[in-house]
Chains A and B, each alone.
Chain A
Amino acid sequence: AQKVTQAQTEISVVEKEDVTLDCVYETRDTTYYLFWYKQPPSGELVFLIRRNSFDEQNEISGRYSWNFQKSTSSFNFTITASQVVDSAVYFCALSERDYKLSFGAGTTVTVRA
């Protein structure tokens, strides 16, 4: 069964629009970690954020913000005032009691000038 679901396959926006990427996860562990990664066309996965299951505070980093809701098992990611350089594939991932990362299928974000 898929542990991490990213329902949006592709999102296309015009520059300066906000874009929210959904991530829903499934786990029976009480201790777990959630991640977001960005994969630009160059291929490498760029770490954006790690959140543990005991910290439900929302986080903001520049134009990026994350909304962690344990009640709905969601960890959504918003890019505010999007820019062309934000165009990439974004992955949500879950790490449970072992060290393995379970990735979602990814959401391709295209920001048009």
Chain B
Amino acid sequence: ETGVTQTPRHLVMGMTNKKSLKCEQHLGHNAMYWYKQSAKKPLELMFVYSLEERVENNSVPSRFSPECPNSSHLFLHLHTLQPEDSALYLCASSQDIPRTGDINYGYTFGSGTRLTVV
């Protein structure tokens, strides 16, 4: 069990459904991230939150809606998804958003949610 917990581990949803992915960390980290891992493609950064404020939205379609109610929890709300959105969604956290010159930062990843859109 890593320090970052994601639920559910697996999710199958229809294109008209609404569901949410949950990420939780109790590492005392201030920054949280959503990544998408599709088959045969590099991991893609989707969203970044620092101290509950969104600091990055990497051209992600509006059918993905993140929410960060506090520094320990991060959600990804899903609605009207497409089959090509099927992927492994990984959450990560770090102490803070690293700045140039930081030499002591790292990311802790969760086990991911395997999403299948049918």
Interface set of A (CB-CB < 8 Å, partner B): 2, 4, 31, 37, 42-47, 50, 52, 91, 95, 97, 99-106
Q: Contacts A31-B101, A44-B2 given; indicate if A101 touches B111 (C-beta within 8 A).
A: no
Shortest CB distance B81–A (Å): 20
Q: List 11 additional A-B contacts (Cβ < 8 Å) besides A2-B42, A43-B90, A103-B42.
A: A44-B109, A45-B107, A46-B109, A50-B106, A95-B98, A97-B100, A99-B48, A99-B94, A99-B97, A100-B45, A101-B107
Q: Name B's interface SS.
A: loop
B103 at the interface (CB under 8 A from A): yes
Contact across chains for B109 and A4 when beta carbons are under 8 A apart: no
Contact for A105 among B42, B110, B112, B114, CB less than 8 A: B42
Q: Which residues of the other chain, B, contact A102 by a CB distance below 8 angstroms?
A: 42
Contact across chains for B98 and A99 when beta carbons are under 8 A apart: yes
Cα separation A42 to B2 with both chains bound (whole Å) = 11
Contact across chains for A42 and B108 when beta carbons are under 8 A apart: no
B21 at the interface (CB under 8 A from A): no
Cα separation A102 to B40 with both chains bound (whole Å) = 15
B88 at the interface (CB under 8 A from A): yes
In this complex, how many residues of chain B approach chain A with their Cβ under 8 Å: the count is 30
Contact across chains for B111 and A44 when beta carbons are under 8 A apart: yes
B15 at the interface (CB under 8 A from A): no
24 A–B contacts, CB within 8 A, in A order: A2-B42, A4-B42, A31-B100, A43-B112, A44-B2, A44-B109, A45-B90, A45-B92, A46-B109, A47-B106, A47-B107, A50-B106, A52-B103, A91-B42, A95-B98, A99-B31, A99-B94, A99-B97, A99-B99, A99-B105, A101-B45, A101-B107, A102-B42, A104-B42
Contact across chains for A42 and B111 when beta carbons are under 8 A apart: yes
Please give me the residue from chain B that is nearest to A37 by CB atom: B109
